Chains A and B, each alone.
Chain A
Amino acid sequence: MIEAVGLTKRYGKTLAVNNLSFSVEAGQVTGFLGPNGAGKSTTMRMILGLDNPTSGQVTIGGKKYHELKQPLRTVGALLDAKWVHPNRSARAHLAWMAKSNKLPARRVDEVLEIVGLTGVAGKRAGGFSLGMSQRLGIAAALLGDPEVLLFDEPVNGLDPEGILWIRKFMHRLAEEGRTVFVSSHLLSEMALTATNLIVIGRGELISQSSTSDFVARAAENTVKVRSPQLGLLRDALVGASATVVEEGPALVVSGMDSDKIGELAAANRIVLHELSPHVGSLEQAFMQITGDSVEYHTEIDGAAAQPLAPTGR
C-alpha cells in the first residue's frame, strides 16, 4: 500500500533518512519503530509530500502523494496534534479541511462525534489539552474516511487514559480494514498495537518483519529452574550444550526451551521445583537491536545497555 524505494533525505550535512526501502501492507497496523531522531517523522513527511526526498521515492497505492486527487479521501494523517490555529474552533478547523476535499459539511460533525469532541466543537482549539488536541488530530485524519492512516507518535505525552483510547482506536481502525502506519519509539507500545514492524535507526532500515518475529528474534528467551539437585542438573544441562547461569538457588538457562529441560531432568531423574520460561523485556530487545544506531548517546545510555550483554542476566 505504501511503498518506499531508496528514500533518502539530506539536510545540509545531516543524512536524516538513508536509502530507506520498505512496504506497508494494506489492511494491517504497521509499526514504524526507531529511537528519537531516527528519521521517522521525516519519512512520514516525505510520504505526505511535505518534504521532498533528496533521492528515491515513496508511493501510496502506486501513486505519489501529489498525484492523489482529493488526498484526504485516500490518506489521513496525524503528524502533530498542535498543527491547529489556536484561535480557530475545532469545528472551523475541520470545516476548511472538509471543504478543501469537497467532503460534505455533516462529515465534520460525524468525526467530532467519533472522537468525542462534539461538546467542545465550538471552543478555541488553543485551549485544548494535549489529549483533546490529539483527538482533534485524529478527527482530521478520519475526515475523508481514508483507506490509509498515518500517525506519528500518537501516544507521546498522553496520560494512561489517552494512551488506552488511542490504542483501542487503532485496533478499531484495523478491524475496519484500514491500513494504519504508526510510528513510535516505544517497542512495548508497538507490540500491543502493530502486527508488522518496520524498524529504523539513524535513517536506515534495521528490519522489517512481523511483530512476533521481531520480538522472538530480539528478546532473549530464558528458562528459570530450581531443583534440590542443582549441581546434577547443571552438569546435565551443560552436557547438553545449554548456557547456564547460576542465580541464587536457581539456574537461568538459555539456548534450550522448557520442554527440553523438563525431559532432560526426567531422563536424569532430577527433581524440579520450578521450571518457568521468561520472555526478555521488549525494551531490552529493542535497545540491543537499535543500540548502535541511537543518534545521541549519553553516559546513562551506556550504563543502561550494560546489563544487556549477550549472556543475559
Chain B
Amino acid sequence: MTLLAVERIKLFTTRSPWWCAALTLILTIGFSALIVGSTSDAAFITVSSAEFGYSFGLAVIMVLAALAVTTEYRFGTIRTTFQAIPHRGAALGAKTTVVALLALVLGLLAGFGSWAMAYLIKPGGDLALNSTDDWINVAGISVVYAFTAVIAVAVGILLRHSAGAISLLLIYNLAVESLIQLIPNIGPKIHEWMPFNVAHKFLTGTGGSNGGHGGENGPPLSTSPLSPAWSLAYFAAFALMMLGIAIYVAKKRDA
C-alpha cells in the first residue's frame, strides 16, 4: 500500500497526467457527440457507434502511461526511486498498478461518458443497455485501457525514452496492426492475433452492441477468432507478459 501511495503522489504531482486525462475524455466523449450528431437515422445510433471513439482515447492513455515512467528516466528520478525502494520489481509493479488504475477510471468515464453524450444528443437512438454485449462495449473500455496502460508502461521501462516509447506505441497502434493485413496470405492470419485487434474483439464481439446491424453500418468488427472472454484473457496475458519482461530487464540493467 505504501508503494502505491508513493506512486500516486508521483503521478499526480506533475501536470502531464492531468492533461492526458482531460484529453482522453474530450476525445472519446467528443467523438461520440460528433458521430451521433452527424447521423440522421436514429436506427444507426447504437451503443457501438457511440463508443467507437475509444481507440482515440486509447492512444492518449498510451502517452500518459509511457510518460509516467519515461520522465522518471529522463529526469533521473528513477534512480532516486530505486534508492528509496531497492526492490525494483516492487517499485515498478506499484507504478504500473497506479497508472493502470487511473486508466481504468478514465476508461469508465470515457465509456459511460460517451454513452451519456449520445443519449443526451439523440435520446431516441438505439442506446438501451439491454444486453451483455452492450454492457461490455461500454464498461469494458475501462479494462482495455487498464491493460493498455500496462503495455505502455512496459514499453516505457524497456525504451526509457519518452519520444521513442510514444512513437513506437502510437505507430504500432495506429499503423502496424492494420498494415500487417497487407502481407499476402499470412498477413490477415497474423492480424487475427495482434493484441489490439483482439482487445477490439472483446469490446465489440460479433456486433451485438450495434443494434442488430452486426458489422454493417457501424464500426468495423475485429477479425479475431477468440470469444470475447478469451480475447480479454489473451490481451491481459500479453500485457502482463510485456510487464514481466520489462521488470526483468530493469532488474538486470544499471539504473
Contact = CB atoms under 8 A, between A and B. Distances in A.
A79 B83 CA distance: 11
B82 A100 contact: no
A49 B85 CA distance: 10
B84 A71 contact: yes
Interface in A83-142: 83-89, 92-93, 95-97, 99-102, 140
Contacts of A49: 82-83, 86
B75 A84 contact: yes
A86 B87 contact: no
Given A50-B255, A80-B76, A99-B2, A89 B13 contact: yes
B132 interface: no
A66 B71 contact: no
A65 B84 CA distance: 10
Interface string B1-41: 01101100110011110000000000000000000000000
B13 A102 contact: no
B167 interface: no
A77 interface: yes
A84 B81 CA distance: 11
Contacts of B76: 80, 82-84
Chain B, interface SS category: helix
Given A50-B82, A71-B84, A92-B13, A86 B5 contact: no
B159 to A, nearest CB: 19
A105 B198 CA distance: 45
Nearest to B3: A100
B85 A100 contact: yes
A101 B86 contact: no
B11 to A, nearest CB: 10
A95 B83 CA distance: 15
Contacts of A79: 79
A84 B10 CA distance: 11
Contacts of B81: 100
A68 B86 contact: yes
Nearest to A68: B86
Given A80-B76, A89-B13, A99-B9, A48 B71 contact: no
A87 B16 CA distance: 9
Contact of A84 (B3, B5, B77, B254): B77
B97 to A, nearest CB: 15
Given A83-B76, A88-B14, A77 B2 contact: no
A96 B5 CA distance: 8
Contacts of B5: 99
A86 B13 CA distance: 11
Interface residues of B, number: 27
B254 to A, nearest CB: 4
A95 B2 contact: no
A101 B5 CA distance: 11
B254 A52 contact: yes
B84 A100 contact: yes
Interface string A51-91: 11000000000000110100110000101101111111100
A66 B86 contact: yes
A45 interface: yes
B13 A88 contact: yes
B13 A97 contact: no
B80 interface: yes
B14 A48 contact: no
Interface in A231-274: none
A12 B252 CA distance: 15
A71 B83 contact: yes
Contacts of A68: 86
A71 B79 CA distance: 13
Contacts of B6: 96, 99-100
Contacts of B3: 100
Interface in B59-97: 71-72, 75-77, 79-87
B9 A92 contact: yes
5 contacts: A68-B86, A71-B86, A84-B77, A95-B13, A100-B3
Interface of B: 2-3, 5-6, 9-10, 13-16, 71-72, 75-77, 79-87, 252, 254-255
- Nearest 3 interchain pairs by C-beta: A83-B76, A92-B13, A66-B86
